[in-house]
């Protein structure tokens, strides 16, 4: 699948404020600073679509982008930024829970994980929550350009083993790099197949 058009539609704070147009939605979510905006811009080949900030935790809204006039790419708030206040963290958590529990058009959720990091409790808990709520998800490992080939394979493999041991599921995963455009074809093929 090729992306021929990508247009920002709107930002929302609640699921009921999201676009009323009933199209399939593909959600992108991950911890703050995981490289979500860079990945979205790489996928759409539009460097200005998702705003990239040097400050983690900048996305505090549900952002809908219309792709090929056919489906929505949804950029969700990043979670787990240590310097965010408890009140702000709770606000982000509520936005995320509201979106996933009140938006029936979600087809697939991509959970972004920095491939360089060991499994983080917050990510494992979030994936377990998605699984318990029957929300289909796949992992996208980001920033793979920072590692060599054997490091990529061992990091990704060890991460999946940790998920299997922790929550007894084995999600599919895609290794990506926004810098090197690795994983773009696989992610878009996944979306195309489900669309």
Per-residue pLDDT reduced to its tens digit, 89-133? 888 899 999 999 999 999 999 999 999 999 999 999 999 999 999
**Domains of the chain and any CATH numbers:** 6-194 (3.40.50.300)
State residue 83's pLDDT score. 67
Task: Answer yes or no: is pLDDT of 28 > 60.
Answer: yes
State residue 130's pLDDT score. 95
CB 131 within 8 A of CB 88: no
Q: What is the pairing mode between strands 6-12 and 25-30?
A: unpaired
Instruction: Work out the pLDDT band at 33, boundaries 50, 70, 90.
Output: confident
The predicted-structure confidence for 58-95, as pLDDT tens digits, reads as follows 567 899 999 999 999 999 998 876 566 788 888 889 99
The mean predicted confidence, pLDDT, of the chain is: 90
State residue 11's pLDDT score. 93
CA 155 to chain centre: 19
Confidence (pTM): 0.92
Average pLDDT over residues 134-139: 96
Please state at what angle helix 121-132 crosses helix 149-167, rounded to 10 degrees: 60
């Amino acid at each position: 699948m090729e992306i021929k058009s990508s247009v920002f539609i709107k930002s929302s704070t609640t699921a009921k404020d999201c676009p009323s147009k009933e199209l399939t939605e593909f959600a992108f979510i991950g911890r703050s600073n995981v490289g979500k905006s860079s990945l979205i811009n790489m996928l759409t080949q539009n460097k200005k679509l998702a705003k990239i900030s040097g400050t983690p935790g900048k996305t505090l809204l549900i952002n809908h982008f219309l792709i090929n006039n056919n489906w929505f790419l949804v950029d969700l708030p990043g979670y787990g930024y240590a310097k965010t206040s408890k009140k702000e963290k709770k606000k982000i958590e509520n936005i995320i829970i509201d979106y996933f529990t009140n938006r029936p058009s979600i087809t697939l959720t991509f959970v972004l994980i920095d491939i360089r990091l060991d499994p983080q409790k917050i990510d494992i808990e979030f994936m377990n929550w998605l699984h318990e709520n029957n929300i289909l998800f796949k992992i996208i490992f980001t920033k793979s350009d920072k590692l060599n080939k054997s490091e990529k394979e061992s990091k990704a493999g060890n991460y999946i083993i940790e998920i299997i041991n922790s929550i007894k599921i084995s999600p599919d995963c895609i290794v990506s790099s926004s810098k090197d455009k690795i994983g773009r074809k696989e992610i878009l093929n996944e979306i195309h197949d489900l669309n």
